[in-house]
Structure 1
Amino acid sequence: MSGVETVIMVDWSARSAPSPARPVKDAIFVAERTAGETRVTYHRTRAAAVAALEAAFDAALAEGRRVLAGFDFPFGYPRGFARAVTGRDDPLALWGWLAEAVADDDRNGNSRWEVAERLNGMFPGVGPFWGCPAGRASGLLPMRGTARHGHGMAERRAVEERLRRAQPVWKLFTTGSVGSQALLGLPRLEGLRRRYGADLAVRPFEGREAPILLAEVYPSMLDAEVRRRQGPGEILDAAQVRVLAEAFAGLAPGRLDAMLREGDPVEGWIAGLGHEAELVAALR
């Protein structure tokens, strides 16, 4: 694989309204590392963040630069989920299904609770998705994970069994609710797939070469190093994507390629997991 000249890391958000004008935690931060320089930007909505990503991808393609873009939410679900929903084990077929099912407007208004209910209705018992605001719970979408039963899905992907700090993708509300981030993130990534076609590939699901690569990341994987490098007054979310972009950008091309190809082709994988020391060394 030829080298990647631009590394972009994205801290996503499942907010249901625009983030405040002044940067705050738990919003969207995008770090872009090109030619030894890192730029971090703050985005109040998912639509604004995607527009910025498209502009960055378009510029890279025009200039002949290869791009890696990492996103901090799960790219897949426990084995069997995609097949139950789409009839196939292909995780990208599930991305397509979600892109048609999820409504997510320019001001972050979205239908994730309704979509979670619809998905839960495809399974026996109660679940697997859970978590919602008080008063939003229903027979199809319980507030608490302990209310689920008999749905038949594993609680965690293999990668989450290995990284126990990572939350299960079924959790939609309160701290660490990556489930909502995935439900609102995967349709946006599917939009990028449709826009860029053969110029974009998703690791580890697609092995073909492309000038734009998408991968799942977990910024807290380098938590100690991030906190050591966090600047005065720098929001932790911003520091995480900045440091992660610099770490992946510092890898030799062959090592980066190998890391991106690791993992389960159905459930997905967190890029760089198990190689934390190598990523830290790449920063130096």
Structure 2
Amino acid sequence: MKDFSKFGLIYLANVGGTILFYPTRVVINLVATSNDDEESPTIHNSSGVLGILDGEGDDDGSEEVNPPSSASAARALEASLADPVPGSSHIAIIIQTNFQLCAYTTSQLHVSMLGLFCDVQTFRRLPNIVFYHITRDSVKGAFKLGIKAKQILRFLKMHAHPRLHSSDHPLVPTNVEDQIRLWNRERKRVQFEEIYIHQCQNAQEFQAVVAYAQDRGAFSWSDGNKLRVYVKYVGAEVVVSFARRWRSWAAQRRARESEGRMRQSAYS
């Protein structure tokens, strides 16, 4: 009752310790008219007396006003209040540009699904609507659960309020959609790659290995001070094999140079 009073549907009064409620004109207008007939009777509200126009006037143009039956009005009011909330399978989502999400639903499953990518601390609920707020942390929490940005946006667009489908406004505000995509891209600013670290023995080997790795497309990074070459793991075997051949060739060259110096010294 308090919820209906807050929305202006009924008026609550405390008379002698007894709480009474009275339907407002808004409710009476809703339940006392017919929705099936286009020529439904209209509400006559002059002089503070509520009446229903017959819709057809006399020959002299006058209109006959018939007061509504209080019993029928009460029954109609009870019928409309018997199921004031949508069915459990119904959901209609409206997203505002300030990242507030309004979902017309009574399904606990839908509420839990929204909580996967919305901030649960901002959860507010009325009889037939729930409010959430979409935040950076809540969306990133969904990403950690394996939910993708396109899945979130597809869910929001699929269950958008029917009036959004018939209007020129986007189903999801542009700034909200762009921000969700940007939050997703934040996870990919750094790309991890498995590498192999090759420790060179001297500067000559370092330069040769770097040049070879770059030619093969296996080069990742290098540290000239520590003579380390970081190569992609998929090309590590080829680079290591080259380094071994280069060391063997360098050792043979040093041996020939040393032998040549020894012969020259012997002749002298």
- TM-score computed with the length of structure 1 as normaliser: 0.22
Structure number, greater radius of gyration: 2
- TM-score computed with the length of structure 2 as normaliser: 0.23
Compare the two structures and name the one with the higher strand fraction.
2
Where relative contact order (Cα < 8 A, 6+ residues apart) is larger, the structure is: 1
Compare the two structures and name the one with the higher helix fraction.
2
